[in-house]
Amino acid sequence: MLIRDILKTRSGGISFEFFPPKSEAGKDAFMGVVKELRQFDPIYVSVTYGAGGTTQERTLTTLEWLRNETDLTVMSHLTCIGATQKAMDELMRKYISMGVNNILALRGDPPKGVPDFDPFKGEFRYASDLVRFIRRYDSFTIAVAVYPEGHQESPSLEMDMEYTKRKIDEGADFAITQMFFDNRYFYQFMERAERIGIKIPIIPGIMPIGDIRKITEFASFCKATIPEWIRKRIEPFQNEPEEMKRIGIEIAIEQCMDLQENGVRFFHFYTLNRAEMLSSILRGLNFPLPLF
């Protein structure tokens, strides 16, 4: 199903982001997580795509499992850095034949561990080029990534918003944000987006903090600030994983409740392929809500 149609008919909902398991051996555990989270009635689930196409086969296999073994609406992430138009065209046809008709169009980053990778060899420079390319097929809902604190390479928040607007104007149907831990960044982003005339749905990306060290590493790479009050609350429990998760659950519930109080109705959760913590968060938020 096209997510853009679902977004028009639903008054709210949640979605889950997964990454492809490393091998076929991880399939049972992965599908177990998906089935556990299925009870929360996601409007769609998405599967990430390795930088420079490094996990293309695994992403496609994971999408196939989800298509064949669940009734979930699926979305493929897709990065274009280093790709050729010919390869992208083949992939679009493959998606159509698989019944995957929702794509999160991304530029991506140069893949780690591929020293001779040349980003300029590809025929797509920015995500906006990919959005324009996919739009030609007239078959897909297209989502894009947006950055409440600005993308790490953007020279300023104003330029970041300018490029975001251009990318959306190429034909994006909705956007998902990078993780953020202080809702003020999201509210300020929404104000900037409104001022510049962005009208598509923007869904906040929520990253539960299960392990502060890992999240700090990831957050520093993608320029997401972890506020001091969160550090003070979690860091004393660095060596007590269960307690750290309990506080991470509380923080995510508080974050989503504040967003709900400020009118947010759709949430995209970064699952890290784990169900337990997220299930507690969603139960704490009374999902699935009957009105969805």
Query: Any idea which residues carry the catalytic annotation?
Result: 17
- Give yes or no for residue 83 binding ligand FAD (CB under 6 A): no
Q: Which of 61, 139, 154, 260 forms a contact with ligand FAD (CB under 6 A)?
A: 154
Cross-strand pairs, 75: 46
Looking at residue 283, its amino acid is R
**Separation in Å, CA 255 to CA 43, 76, 161, 184, 203:** 20, 27, 24, 11, 14
- Give yes or no for residue 160 binding ligand FAD (CB under 6 A): yes
Q: Scanning residues 109 to 128, which ones bind ligand FAD (CB under 6 A)?
A: 109, 126-128
Q: Helical H runs in the chain?
A: 3-9, 27-38, 56-69, 85-98, 127-135, 157-169, 183-196, 212-221, 228-234, 241-261, 276-284
- Give yes or no for residue 186 binding ligand FAD (CB under 6 A): no
CB of 150 to ligand FAD, least distance (A): 8
Q: Scanning residues 7 to 66, which ones bind ligand FAD (CB under 6 A)?
A: 48-49, 51
Pair of tokens at residue 261: 């109080």
Residue span binding ligand FAD (CB under 6 A) among the ranges 30-38, 84-92, 150-158, 232-240: 150-158
Q: Are 82 and 122 in contact (CB under 8 A)?
A: yes
Q: Which of 15, 56, 73, 79 forms a contact with ligand FAD (CB under 6 A)?
A: 79
CB of 39 to ligand FAD, least distance (A): 23
Q: Are 73 and 101 in contact (CB under 8 A)?
A: no
**Which residues have a Cβ under 8 Å from the Cβ of 165 and sit 6 or more positions away?**
196, 197, 198
Q: Which of 117, 163, 237, 292 forms a contact with ligand FAD (CB under 6 A)?
A: 163
Binding positions for ligand FAD, rule: CB under 6 A: 48-49, 51, 77, 79, 104, 106-109, 126-128, 145, 151, 153-154, 160, 163, 167, 176, 178, 205
